[in-house]
Structure 1
Amino acid sequence: MVTVLSLAWQTVKARTSGFIGAFVAILCGTAIVAACGILMESGFRGGVPTQRYAAADVVVTGDRSVRPSDGDALDFEHAAEQPSIPASLVAEIAAVPGAKAVPEQTFPALVVGPGGPLAGKPSFGHNWDSAVLAPFTLKEGNAPKAGEVVLDSALAAQAGVRVGGEVRVAVRSAPVTYRLAGVAEAPGKARQASMFFSEAEATELAGRPDRVSAIGVLGADADEVEAALAGDHVTVSAGADRSAAEFDDVSQTKSILAILAGSFGGYAVLVAIFVVASTLALAVEQRRREFALLRAVGATPRQVRRLIGVETTVVSVLAGVLGSLAGIGVSLGLRAAFARIGVVPDDFALSISPIPLAAALLIGVAAARVAAWSASRRPSSINPVEALGEAAVQKRDVGKVRLAIGSVLIVLGLGATAVPLFFGGQLGAAMSVMATLVLIIGLTLTGPRVVGAAVRVIAPVLARTAGVSGYLASANVLKNSRRLAAAVTPLMLAIGFAVVNFYSQTTFTAAVQQQTERSITADHVITGVTGVPAEVVGQISGGTATSLVRTQVITATRTADSVEVQSRPANGLDPTASGMVDLGVVSGSVDDLRPGTVALSDAHASWEDKKIGDTVEFWFADGQEAKLRVVATYEHDLAFGDYVLSAADARAHTNAGMDSAVLVKSADVTALQALTSRYPGLQVTERVAAQDRSAERTQFLLNLVAVGVILGYVAISVSNTLVMSTAARRREFALLRLVGTGRRQIVRMMRTEALLTVGLAAVLGSLVAAVPLGVLAIGLIGTPLPAGPVWVYLGALAAAALLGVVSIAVSTRLSLRARPIDAIGTRE
């Protein structure tokens, strides 16, 4: 083993240029995997410094993890709303020796100034007793009594009110005037605005007399509190985890990062394995003469495989260490990008430890070793007598097994493209992406056959029309279709993957917008800064109105051996909504939508085998279990989601306790404007303009960032592959020059090959994308043309063409710098 290691190290040092491609592929792949690992770890351990609970040793909140009883540890979903907990738990915690339990009420509350609600950051009301958890201390004034409020110092300054003055506060109703009893301060820079009411008033405003938002614990540790509350379905947080209990955006961010890193990391690992395998296969293929010589002088197949494996290990360990460290920078860049599009808070700190770096290193080395084993099978198994003769000529065809697997994958990919015709929504869009990946892998395996068939048609045209350079390029691609396929494949992957990921999202968004425009038939929509008080519906005269509450539900789909827990968009409507929304009702009636009932999309009802009168089980947005009776099924699931609840049920399970919007039909606009003047912060808009698409836009941008990173890696691998394959032809270029071919003719020959490479990649990449996107567009918007700007497609083609042409041109000119007589003697 020492001899093999020494030989491998000497080979790596002597053939540094030959290993650069594999080194770059492993380094970049490891960096992306390490970044995903850091993001995943941050989903469990990252966060922001706690503020409102800074003085509390432990914080007890409702458990936001929804887990079916028959699921395993990974079968869970994060509830969209923070559940409240029973107030009776205060006494249970207080029974812990030395513990002081402080209940906290938290509810949205806005200070209303002369120009409307004060904006800037989220604003919440609390009970004064919970001020000790920060701690908030009175800067001036005294604790609040009935009809009084205490503001934090920043909020009081923004409102321009002094102790003893009057301040207007809106909490789920029209603004109410309070006397400012005092001004409080807490250490540090606050992310939220806080105001405090008396205990009785805070309980009334929160609207939950027997429940509290959280319980802060002083003088006890987390283990003691967990033991006291065993079986109460609560979350006990200490240390950095307290910020997730305090800030809803931090809690959601941790969940998003964990899920995103898992899915994104899976794609990254697959792409990294694919890139590393193709790069190492190319590197090994270029050393045919070397391995042939080793076999001819007596090296056994096992020794050749071991040599390749040890060489790969040396390179992958060096690249993996550097890549893991580079992953820290990649993760910070991703965090900055996610913050810019609103996925994570600006002050969210990543948790960086050696664990994801070590895991990425192991994955990179393992992927490289597997790729090396696959690439080493052929050079290690050929007959020594045949080795030298075969080394000079490339194998003409692919293996039968590889061809069969590739053909099967192409058929499966084409079959998967039909899924959007039967299942719409995000599932259809996701299946289009998966179908594209399957098609690309299938074309990769059958690439030499596909490219060979194409060049047999194109090559004669080149030979007749492009002079000597065209003749040489034609001869090269005809005799080396495998080499051409190796260059075309990564470019095809980049084009197809980029186009499908972008246009599948834009087409889905267009379908949602299209269906929403057809489905919302109200004349006007009332929206607000933080929502619309539920009482507004009853105050609209001269027309009809209904509440619209946007929410989420969590479902569990059971198969033979697994449970899939999934969050789904849902809406809450009143029975009067039938005149203002068109759900495309298939059976039943929306008029029967009352508390305790639900309407299901027709597709979801069929999938779950539910009919009118059946009971459907799921979880509300705050994680509370629901068992509701089905009263209607409908078709317009893109606009309304798979579940439509009664507005009362949906509203009761949100922390805000308000409507997302109020739909109005045939009302006087002047009367509506007068109504909004009584509720500062409300506005009247046209029906479509009021539809909230921020979550979909954020998801779209999130996908673009994630896909952009993978495409960046693919672009590096494309350049890497093209440079390696071109640089390996130095002896070929030298021989052409020695027999009289001019330098410019070789450059033109390679330019012709480059154009042929990017042209084939553009055609195949477009075809790979066109089939899934065309079927998706037919299924979602009724036309074979996907929605979205055409310049993105043209830009993807231009970027791929520029990358391919520049990579080949640069490596060609570098290869031609050496004198032909010197280059002809260099090792392959």
Structure 2
Amino acid sequence: MSRKKSGAQAVGPPAAGKAKKKKVRTLSRQNLSLAWSTIRGRKGGFTAVLIAVAIGSAVISACGVLLETGISSGVPAERYHRTAVVVGGYQAMEVEGDADPRLSERVRLPADTVEKVGAVKGVESAVGDISVRTTVLKNDSVLDGPPVYGHGWSASVLAPFTLRSGTPPRAAGDVVLDSVLARRTGAAPGDTVTLVTGSKPGSYRVSGVAEPAVPLERQGAVFFTDDEAARLHGLPGKIDAVGVLAAKGTDAGDLADRIEKAVPGVVTYTGDDRSDAETLDVGQMRSFVIEVASAFGATMILLVVIVVAGTLALSVQQRRRELALLRAVGATPRQVLRMIGGEAVIVGGIGAVLGAVPGILLAMLLHTVFTAAGALPPGFSLVITATPVLCALLICVLAARIGGWLAARRAAKVSAVEALGDVAVEPKKLGWFRLTLGVLLVPAGLAVAIVLPIALPGESAIEGAASSALVLVIAVGLLGPKLFGGVASLLARRRGDVTWFLATANSRARARRLSAATTPLIMGVTMASAQLFSGTTLAATAHDQAVDGVIADHVVTSDSAGISPGLAEELRGVPGVRTVGPVARTSTILTWPDGDSIQYRISTAQGVDPAAVPDTMDLGVLRGDLSGLTGSTVALSRLVAGTVGADVGGQVDVHLGDGTVQKSKVVAVYENGLGFGDVTLPHDVVLAHTTDHLDQWLMVNSDREADLSAALKPYPTLSVRTAGAVTAAPTGDSGDGGISLVLNAVLLGYLAIAVVNTLVMATISRHREFALLRLVGTRTRQVRSMMRQEAGIIVVSAVVVGSIAALPSLIGMSYAIRHSVFPSIPPLMYLGIVIAAAVIAWPAVMLPARLALRPPAVEAVSRPE
């Protein structure tokens, strides 16, 4: 007896557990079956959700493909085609726990690295290579095309280059041209070509023409004797890279590992990564693509969640009758939540899968645009794997699930009786949590936009002001019905005919539905205004600072890589010339401690002669004195000084363009950082740590009788221009303007599709309302007039609310960067935003309305919702 009882107790609970699991599985199947039945019965309503998810999936997939392309792709090596490994310096600054920022200037190696690499097992030969930026003249004009680099003839084996005609260079005045360059110049062995290194032209005899193993698409090659190349390079004991030819049967990856172990402090490149060592722009472009794809992808994920949630919310609102009946016949809140969640997952999954292939096509299109705009070098292949697509699928399904849960909460919580009552009249009250959060976000967004630029120094103020637009957009989404109803109530005060009365009355009564459809349009207006006008404000400020800050009479510019440093001293000897101020430009990385971590900022920098600054440029010095800008000193713009927490007398770590670290004392803080660069260093310091060791401009003050043109006649690549030739310093985080424009167009295009999607969905569902209006005596043309005026209310609401949401961000940013509360807003550009909003919204309302009015009223009123 006791054994049987004990056995019964042991068997009982598992049986009950199995029954419970079986019941849960049965309920899950029932929920999914019900969800699928609902989707099939309401194809029109769920089509809008599917479109929103599919397009979001496509854009996120495209961003993922571009990100993976930037990480793992590259371009085939050209000059280093034959090498198994290329040895160079590490072209980035190491940052623990973060992506290593790219250095703008070449990190060079000691010349004895060639011998050390050559001693490694598996190396057949190691060849040192140097690159000298060279300009080719044809008929006294600069030859167009890709940049041309000069090398020593010994490095020709790295491609390899094969002499097609002539002989190798044997004297200092001999050169060998690559075959493409020879064809473009029309030069043959025995002819003379003019080459400019820096500003100095030189005549060279073409001793031969060489054919590379692979065509040179990104560069041209000129070969001097090794001694002449070293003289032109101007850095004794330094080389740019080492090309390694491997012994037969040696694996490139294994050889690279052995070299890095045997020669500390070097970096090895294999495969397509070898092109990063050939020309610096390949690595810089790769870094740019990774940053852009990451930032844009994160923004799109947030937008997809918001848009999908809004579309699902509108879909649930349109099914209030059905959900009320389900509650009335005994459906529990949990079952309603599961059913809507199942619908969201099914539609989200289908939409995400449908968007995968278009996403790859969009990635191909963006890759083509990036290449055409110069953000990617020719031959930078697109990497397409399943990883970005799978990530996009997961993100979109999660977005749909979260959106479904948010949309279903109220429908699931209300009682059955209350649910049936909600069918007759749209609920006017917002949930207390939604209302409270929305109300709190408004002052939070305003505080971030207005208070931070006043209270905080540096770029924290700008970043805070920029983020306020997103905070206010979220607040608008939460308070949408209240805001839309308020705008409609204000417009209702204007007297009008019966159709105007109907339009305003409908807008107030259906504020919840119409605000859900209008929110994407408001987001579009806000984001377009914030993006475009922040850019115009920055550009206008930089332009004004550069134009107003140049006080020199003339500016000497170059059509080649730059200006030879010795030319400044030569011009000082010209009669009538009072001051010559050379300006060299580079990029620096500032680092400073922040708690237990190290923060960094990439900043555009200039090198100036402090003695010439008072007569040539006005940096708007706020504190300190630029006359002390010598040795290990630095001057910082107001924004950067506030960002790094340094002031006059303090110290900051400056990583120069080639990675050299200099502890610099701050001698001045100035205002005009956007125009001239956020970091100003001594001229000789900058020049010593740039790749080409050339000046950007020479700023000249002179009397009228000074003949600068005659003095520059021996230098065909130089010209004398007015002060307007000085361009504003590029911002460190602006990237490529054309690429930013394209990506913003994609983002706003997604929002435009979401607007059309939701407005069509909201309008087409009103066919019974239109039929009832016609049955009680309203004419069809009056209904159309009513809808035209409703469309106008939607556009006005979106433009007004969207502009108001963007304005605090723009005011705060403008104050932070130039102490003015008036951002630069070109009227025609703003008019374009208004017209775009109207063009998007108007057809999305009127075309579905016309379709809904086509059937006879009696037939339309009997159709299901």
Q: Same fold (TM over 0.5)?
A: yes
Question: Which residue number corresponds to residue 18 of structure 2?
Answer: none
Moved more, 629-638 or 308-317: 629-638
Within-5 A mapping of 1:80-479 = 80-99=104-123, 100-147=125-172, 148-191=174-217, 192-219=219-246, 220=250, 221-230=252-261, 232-418=264-450, 419-420=452-453, 430-461=463-494, 464-467=495-498, 469-479=499-509
What code does the residue aligned with 2:167 have?
A: N
SS in 1 for 2:210: strand
Alpha carbons of structure 1 residues 788 and 749: separation in structure 2 relative to 1, 3 Å: closer
Answer yes or no: is 1:530 the counterpart of 2:554. Answer: no
SS in 1 for 2:694: coil
Within-5 A mapping of 1:479-518 = 479-518=509-548
- Aligned equivalents of 2:459 and 2:567: distance in 1? 34
Question: Which residue number corresponds to residue 715 of structure 2?
Answer: 679
- Aligned equivalents of 1:243 and 1:695: distance in 2? 26
Offset at residue 591 of structure 1 (A): 2.5
Within-5 A mapping of 1:593-742 = 593-666=629-702, 671-691=707-727, 699-742=736-779
- Is the 1:421–1:776 contact (alpha carbons within 8 Å) kept by the matching residues of 2? no
Offset at residue 694 of structure 1 (A): 7.2
What per-residue deviation string (whole Å, max 9, x for no partner) do you get for residues 758-790 of structure 1? 112122122223333344445555665433531
Alpha carbons of structure 1 residues 559 and 408: separation in structure 2 relative to 1, 3 Å: farther
Offset at residue 381 of structure 1 (A): 2.2
Percent of aligned pairs with the same amino acid: 38
Offset at residue 612 of structure 1 (A): 4.2
Within-5 A mapping of 1:740-755 = 740-755=777-792
What per-residue deviation string (whole Å, max 9, x for no partner) do you get for residues 461-487 of structure 1? 3xx5222x2232233223222123223
Alpha carbons of structure 1 residues 406 and 234: separation in structure 2 relative to 1, 3 Å: farther
Offset at residue 449 of structure 1 (A): 1.9
- Aligned equivalents of 2:112 and 2:638: distance in 1? 42
SS in 1 for 2:513: helix
Offset at residue 179 of structure 1 (A): 2.8
Q: Which runs of 5+ in 2 are unaligned?
A: 1-27
- Is the 1:45–1:241 contact (alpha carbons within 8 Å) kept by the matching residues of 2? no
Moved more, 531-540 or 166-175: 166-175
Moved more, 761-770 or 494-503: 761-770
Alpha carbons of structure 1 residues 610 and 780: separation in structure 2 relative to 1, 3 Å: closer
- Is the 1:569–1:641 contact (alpha carbons within 8 Å) kept by the matching residues of 2? yes
- Aligned equivalents of 1:577 and 1:453: distance in 2? 61
What code does the residue aligned with 1:530 have?
A: A
Offset at residue 261 of structure 1 (A): 0.8
Answer yes or no: is 1:79 the counterpart of 2:103. Answer: yes
- Is the 2:73–2:381 contact (alpha carbons within 8 Å) kept by the matching residues of 1? yes
- Aligned equivalents of 2:735 and 2:291: distance in 1? 15
Question: Which residue number corresponds to residue 797 of structure 2?
Answer: 760
What code does the residue aligned with 1:723 have?
A: V
TM-score when normalising by structure 1: 0.94
Within-5 A mapping of 1:10-29 = 10-29=37-56
- Aligned equivalents of 1:182 and 1:715: distance in 2? 59
SS in 2 for 1:163: coil
What code does the residue aligned with 2:549 have?
A: S
Offset at residue 338 of structure 1 (A): 3.0
- Is the 2:198–2:561 contact (alpha carbons within 8 Å) kept by the matching residues of 1? no
- Aligned equivalents of 1:525 and 1:420: distance in 2? 36
- Aligned equivalents of 1:131 and 1:158: distance in 2? 20
What code does the residue aligned with 2:581 have?
A: T
- Is the 1:76–1:565 contact (alpha carbons within 8 Å) kept by the matching residues of 2? no
Question: Which residue number corresponds to residue 847 of structure 2?
Answer: 810
Offset at residue 51 of structure 1 (A): 1.0
TM-score when normalising by structure 2: 0.90
- Aligned equivalents of 1:348 and 1:426: distance in 2? 34
- Aligned equivalents of 1:247 and 1:752: distance in 2? 60
- Aligned equivalents of 1:120 and 1:101: distance in 2? 31
SS in 2 for 1:553: strand
- Aligned equivalents of 2:753 and 2:365: distance in 1? 18
Q: Which runs of 5+ in 1 are unaligned?
A: none
Question: Which residue number corresponds to residue 559 of structure 1?
Answer: 594
Offset at residue 426 of structure 1 (A): 7.2
What code does the residue aligned with 1:138 have?
A: L
Offset at residue 663 of structure 1 (A): 0.9
What code does the residue aligned with 1:575 have?
A: P
- Is the 1:113–1:168 contact (alpha carbons within 8 Å) kept by the matching residues of 2? yes
- Aligned equivalents of 1:451 and 1:281: distance in 2? 16
Offset at residue 173 of structure 1 (A): 4.6
Offset at residue 692 of structure 1 (A): 5.6
Which residue of the other structure, out of 587, 612, 620, is the alignment partner of 1:577? Answer: 612
Offset at residue 620 of structure 1 (A): 0.9
Answer yes or no: is 1:43 the counterpart of 2:43. Answer: no
What code does the residue aligned with 1:531 have?
A: G
Offset at residue 412 of structure 1 (A): 1.8
SS in 2 for 1:677: coil
Question: Which residue number corresponds to residue 549 of structure 2?
Answer: 519
Question: Which residue number corresponds to residue 625 of structure 2?
Answer: 589
SS in 2 for 1:688: helix
- Aligned equivalents of 2:730 and 2:621: distance in 1? 27
- Aligned equivalents of 1:554 and 1:669: distance in 2? 43
Moved more, 267-276 or 162-171: 162-171
SS in 1 for 2:165: strand
The structure with more radius of gyration: 2
- Is the 2:86–2:241 contact (alpha carbons within 8 Å) kept by the matching residues of 1? yes
What per-residue deviation string (whole Å, max 9, x for no partner) do you get for residues 203-245 of structure 1? 2222222221111122141333234324834332211222222
For the aligned residues, what is the CA RMSD? 2.4
- Aligned equivalents of 2:623 and 2:792: distance in 1? 58
Offset at residue 501 of structure 1 (A): 1.2
Which residue of the other structure, out of 53, 58, 78, is the alignment partner of 2:80? Answer: 53
Offset at residue 430 of structure 1 (A): 4.9
- Aligned equivalents of 1:394 and 1:806: distance in 2? 26
SS in 1 for 2:605: strand
Offset at residue 661 of structure 1 (A): 0.8
Offset at residue 198 of structure 1 (A): 1.9
- Is the 2:633–2:681 contact (alpha carbons within 8 Å) kept by the matching residues of 1? yes
SS in 1 for 2:75: coil
Alpha carbons of structure 1 residues 669 and 213: separation in structure 2 relative to 1, 3 Å: farther
What per-residue deviation string (whole Å, max 9, x for no partner) do you get for residues 425-456 of structure 1? 97666544322221121122112222223323
